[in-house]
Amino acid sequence: MDIESIRVFMMTRGIDFGTKVLGAIVLWIIGRWAIGLVISLMRKLLARNSKVDPTLAHYLGSILGAVLNLLLVLAILQVFGVQTTSFAALLAGFGLAIGTAWGGLLAHFAAGVFMQVLRPFKVGDFVTAGGVTGTVQELGLFGTTIITPDNVQTIVGNNTIFSGVISNFSAQPVRRVELTAKVANGVDPVDAANRLRDAVTKIPNVAQTPAPDVEVLSFTPEGPMLCVRPYTHNDNYWQVYFDTNRAIVETFREAGYPTPETPVVRRTAP
């Protein structure tokens, strides 16, 4: 091929191909901007509606984004003259192959749909799901993002969550704090429970209904064991937890109770 033939090819086919490439780039940039704008507007509209859960808004936004991006790719292929009908058939076959190979992903997707319908939890709830405990940040197409108490972002597959036990600590108005306090032998456990109950009731954010439970739980060689169970909203759980521990120490110190000691077992020589 001589230089003149190359020049003629570049002047005819090259300019046409370059125009298509430039058009595809412009279409991609504008399309991505428009998709982001549409998703943002949809989420804002859903956020204004108090009846729509934030989790559902994120989920619908993810689905809409995936569909719009697929349509954008088909539009760009149309610019290059690719028949989208043939591509759609090819995409369907490719999707079938991918679905067979990645059945687990489809299971996660299906579980995510069921979770949206059954609503075992929502964004912001404190849960134990899929063996992970933390605050739900986002429910995605295939996985749920949970922020653990030590501030680690953890993504758990939706099918793993849906097929296991889910504990939602935010579902009820209050949550019970489970603590114990031991008093020494010789201390009246009823008097200790009454003193401690009065102290726990005065702790900020402790619910008055139901009232804190402070009772004799069991007896040990060191002395009676008291159960200390105040109720509070999940947002205040750790504050009440630590304040209750502090109240146990301060109440027993003010009452002059001795520290429980383990009885010494003396062995006699044979």
Q: State pLDDT tens for residues 76-133.
A: 777 766 665 556 566 666 666 555 545 567 777 778 878 877 888 988 999 999 999 9
- Give yes or no: residues 7 and 96 share one domain: yes
Selection from 44-48, 183-187, 203-207, 257-261 with the highest mean pLDDT: 203-207
Look at 123 and 146; give whichever has higher pLDDT.
146
Task: Determine how many CB atoms are found less than 10 A away from the CB of residue 134.
Answer: 21
- Asked, for residue 66, whether it belongs to a domain, the answer is yes
Q: pTM for this structure? A: 0.61
Tens of pLDDT, residues 47-77: 776 655 666 666 677 777 777 887 788 777 7
Q: What CATH number is associated with residue 64? A: 1.10.287
pLDDT at 267: 59
Look at 163 and 20; give whichever has higher pLDDT.
163
The chain-wide mean pLDDT, for the chain, equals 82
Q: Report whether pLDDT(214) > 70.
A: yes
Task: Determine how many CB atoms are found less than 10 A away from the CB of residue 56.
Answer: 16
- Asked, for residue 106, whether it belongs to a domain, the answer is no
- Give yes or no: residues 136 and 181 share one domain: no
Range(s) of the domain holding residue 154: 120-168
- Give yes or no: residues 179 and 216 share one domain: yes
Q: How many angstroms separate the CA atoms of 62 and 112, rounded? A: 12
- Asked, for residue 270, whether it belongs to a domain, the answer is no
- Asked, for residue 268, whether it belongs to a domain, the answer is no
Q: How many angstroms separate the CA atoms of 129 and 122, rounded? A: 12
Q: Which band of pLDDT confidence, cut at 50, 70 and 90, is reported for residue 216?
A: very high
- Asked, for residue 151, whether it belongs to a domain, the answer is yes
